[in-house]
RNA sequence: GUGAGCGUAGCUCAAUUGGUCAGAGCACUGGACUGUGGCUCCAGUGGUUGGGGGUUCAAGUCCCCUCGCUCACCCCA
């Protein structure tokens, strides 16, 4: 412990927690199938330009949060800070536009951002990422949002808030931007210093400032929806209509803006009421300009990223179940040294039969082996000693009841396999 | 990058105004019960008190530096 520790902001997911993650992946994988999304595995690092051009040169992510390095040939590479840009790159690189549209893809894995760690924020964090690329239909926006809500529904998450908004497109956003600036200019002196700094660079961000005085000012600010072009307005209406149709509970939040440049039209976010300041458990929206930004043909797309670390935090906070923690079903206990070979044989027969089984290898006494079986929460113990071997039986003890019975050696594996099978259902 | 709080055994925490203060519980290992767990009792393993420097007769306890953790700002998943 003296010297080498995990770097700041990263952590180990140990066995007591990893099985919970596995159960979330299982649920997610099933939902992906149910919605027709196929899994892809993407590289964990990319050419730096993919992100600097895709996400936007002036965004916080690109300006100060990327892990960028040169490899041995001098190429500039970056550990991915998010998955969407990679997904679109893969879509373009493999000509997926020639397949059925939209291409519905998903992936999971770690993302890396150099940020100050705090509750729910790590330098390496896991996301579930779903993207539908190649369609501009608002029904796809609806599907993506519905899919994310279905994940949370099946996991049992409560106390969530769904915020939806439209951030317009290159045609109408600039007009709104100036309208907003015109309004804010009248109150410029009352804005907090941070917002005064944002005024020119990114006035939309002022809308979600947490300072009370800024909030009061932006309460009266012009609404994006009144400034959307006809196309964006129709699109937004269709999305809202679709969500209503599915009975989705959401709130239109005119303050919802996005930190990444590539977003157009639909923007949405799912907030957890059981996290700290970092309360977004999922964020997404439409990004019709991303493909062009990274050098491809105009290709519309929608998607979302959900934060696994935050989902787990919320689930633990809400004391939700994670399915079943895997455990050893049978412990083989060897009563005497002379029974060790037979014990080993039995152990591997059980394992081959698909019964989770284990055995002590350190030569401990029977009592200690029993205790280990208890700690491992094993359902059964098979005791083997010279007397059992002579009689051709195995003493099978059911740990929960404490009852023990002799079972013929020839039948014991099939018998336990049957019990393990029914126990798992 | 900024601010605040905190760093004592694997875990959770004790240690009066600096003076046997390096401890307890849990966990782990062994024993009481020489072939049987979960209860009880006993014993044992385990810490250069995050690291470095300073003040002092004496520092876990005070001061400085450093590293780390936590929460918040910022930003987002």
Tell me the average pLDDT across A227-236.
94
- How many Å apart are CA A228 and CA A266, to the nearest integer? 12
User: With contact defined as beta carbons under 8 Å apart, do A148 and A285 qualify?
Assistant: no
A19: Cβ contacts below 8 Å, ≥ 6 apart: A322, A325, A326
CA A12 to C1' B11 (Å) is 16
Going by C-alpha positions, the residue among A218, A186, A225 that lies closest to residue A204 is A218
The structure tokens listed for A103 are 């291409």
Q: Is the pLDDT of residue A253 over 80?
A: yes
Nearest nucleotide by C1' from A7 CA?
Answer: B68
What ipTM, to 2 d.p.?
0.85
Q: A321: cis peptide before it, omega within 30°?
A: no
Provide the pLDDT for residue A259. Answer: 67
Nearest nucleotide by C1' from A258 CA?
Answer: B76
Q: Is the pLDDT of residue A3 over 80?
A: no
A397 in contact with nucleic chain B (CB within 7 A): yes
Show which positions of strand B are touched by protein (CB under 7 A): 1-3, 10, 27-31, 33-38, 50-51, 68-77
CA angle, A136 as apex, A270 and A262 as ends, to 5°? 60
- How many Å apart are CA A64 and CA A61, to the nearest integer? 6
Q: Is the pLDDT of residue A46 over 80?
A: yes
- Residues 164-203 on chain A lying near strand B, CB distance under 7 A: 194, 198
Strand partners, A332: A359, A382
User: With contact defined as beta carbons under 8 Å apart, do A227 and A175 qualify?
Assistant: yes
Long-range pairs, A266-269, Cβ under 8 A, ≥24: A266/A138, A266/A141, A266/A164, A266/A165, A266/A166, A266/A235, A266/A236, A266/A239, A266/A302, A267/A164, A267/A165, A267/A166, A267/A167, A268/A145, A268/A162, A268/A163, A268/A164, A268/A165, A268/A304, A269/A162, A269/A163
Mean pLDDT of all residues in chain A?
Answer: 92
CATH architecture assigned to A15-172+228-317:
2-Layer Sandwich (3.30)
A326 in contact with nucleic chain B (CB within 7 A): no
Strand partners, A343: none
Nearest nucleotide by C1' from A118 CA?
Answer: B71
pLDDT digit string (tens) for A263-278?
Answer: 899 999 999 999 989 9
Whether the domain at A15-172+228-317 and the domain at A330-423 fall into the same CATH topology: no
pLDDT digit string (tens) for A365-390?
Answer: 899 999 999 999 999 999 999 999 99
Provide the pLDDT for residue A254. Answer: 86
Tell me the average pLDDT across A343-347.
96
Quickly state the pLDDT bin for A1 (edges 50, 70, 90): very low
What is residue A6's DSSP assignment? Answer: P
Provide the pLDDT for residue A425. Answer: 55
User: With contact defined as beta carbons under 8 Å apart, do A357 and A331 qualify?
Assistant: yes
Q: Is the pLDDT of residue A174 over 50?
A: yes
CA A334 to C1' B30 (Å) is 19
A282 in contact with nucleic chain B (CB within 7 A): yes
CATH superfamily of A330-423: Anticodon-binding domain (3.40.50.800)
Strand partners, A306: A128, A282
User: With contact defined as beta carbons under 8 Å apart, do A133 and A301 qualify?
Assistant: yes
A120 in contact with nucleic chain B (CB within 7 A): yes
- How many Å apart are CA A383 and CA A84, to the nearest integer? 55
Domains of chain A by residue range: 15-172+228-317, 330-423
- Sign, CA dihedral A218-A220-A225-A227, equals negative
A211 in contact with nucleic chain B (CB within 7 A): yes
Q: Which residues of A29-60 are buried (b: 16+ CB within 10 A; e: fewer)?
A: eebbeebebeebebeebbebebbbbbbbeebe
- Residues 5-24 on chain A lying near strand B, CB distance under 7 A: 5, 8-9
Provide the pLDDT for residue A424. Answer: 66
Tell me the average pLDDT across A64-72.
92
- Residues 362-391 on chain A lying near strand B, CB distance under 7 A: 364-368, 370-375, 381, 383-388
A285 in contact with nucleic chain B (CB within 7 A): no
CA A5 to C1' B47 (Å) is 18
Provide the pLDDT for residue A251. Answer: 94
CA A205 to C1' B75 (Å) is 11
Nearest nucleotide by C1' from A198 CA?
Answer: B74
A130 in contact with nucleic chain B (CB within 7 A): no
- How many Å apart are CA A364 and CA A154, to the nearest integer? 44
Residue A327, helix vs strand vs coil: coil
The structure tokens listed for A330 are 């049978």
Nearest nucleotide by C1' from A209 CA?
Answer: B74
Provide the pLDDT for residue A2. Answer: 45
pLDDT digit string (tens) for A273-325?
Answer: 999 899 999 999 999 999 999 999 999 999 999 999 999 999 998 989 898 88
């Amino acid at each position: 412990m003296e010297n080498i520790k995990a770097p700041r902001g990263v952590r180990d997911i140990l066995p007591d927690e990893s099985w919970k993650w596995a159960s979330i992946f299982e649920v997610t994988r099933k939902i992906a199938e149910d919605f027709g999304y196929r899994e892809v595995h993407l590289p964990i690092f990319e050419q730096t330009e993919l992100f600097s051009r895709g996400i936007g040169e002036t965004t916080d992510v690109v300006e100060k949060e990327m892990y960028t390095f040169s490899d041995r040939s001098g190429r500039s590479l970056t550990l991915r800070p998010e998955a969407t840009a990679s997904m679109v790159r893969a879509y373009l690189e493999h000509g997926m536009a020639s397949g059925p549209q939209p291409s519905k893809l998903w992936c999971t894995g770690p993302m890396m951002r150099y940020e100050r760690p705090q509750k729910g924020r790590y330098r390496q964090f896991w996301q579930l990422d779903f993207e539908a690329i190649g369609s501009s239909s608002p029904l796809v926006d609806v599907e993506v949002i519905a899919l994310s809500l279905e994940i949370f529904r099946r996991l049992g998450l409560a106390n969530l808030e769904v915020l939806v908004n439209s951030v317009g497109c290159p045609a109408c956003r600039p007009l709104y931007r100036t309208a907003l600036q015109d309004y804010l200019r009248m109150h410029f002196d009352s804005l907090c210093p941070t917002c005064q700094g944002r005024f020119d660079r990114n006035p939309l961000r002022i809308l979600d400032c947490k300072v009370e005085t800024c909030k009061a000012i932006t309460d009266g600010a012009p609404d994006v929806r009144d400034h959307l072009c006809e196309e964006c307005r129709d699109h937004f209406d269709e999305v809202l209509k679709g969500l209503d149709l599915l009975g989705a509970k959401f709130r239109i939040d005119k303050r919802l803006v996005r930190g990444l440049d590539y977003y157009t039209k639909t923007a949405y976010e799912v907030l957890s009421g059981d996290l700290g300041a970092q309360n977004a458990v999922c964020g997404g929206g439409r990004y019709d300009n991303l493909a062009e930004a990274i050098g491809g043909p105009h290709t519309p797309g929608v998607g979302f990223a959900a934060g696994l670390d935050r989902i787990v935090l919320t689930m633990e906070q809400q004391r939700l179940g994670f399915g079943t923690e895997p455990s050893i079903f049978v412990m083989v206990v060897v009563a005497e040294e002379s029974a060790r070979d037979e014990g080993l044989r039995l152990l591997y027969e059980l394992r081959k039969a698909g019964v989770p089984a284990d055995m002590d290898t350190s030569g401990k006494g029977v009592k200690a082996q029993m205790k280990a079986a208890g700690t491992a929460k094993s359902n059964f113990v098979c005791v083997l000693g010279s007397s059992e071997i002579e009689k051709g039986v195995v003493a099978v003890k059911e740990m929960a009841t404490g009852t023990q019975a002799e079972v013929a050696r020839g039948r014991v594996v099939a018998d336990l396999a049957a019990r393990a099978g029914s126990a798992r259902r």
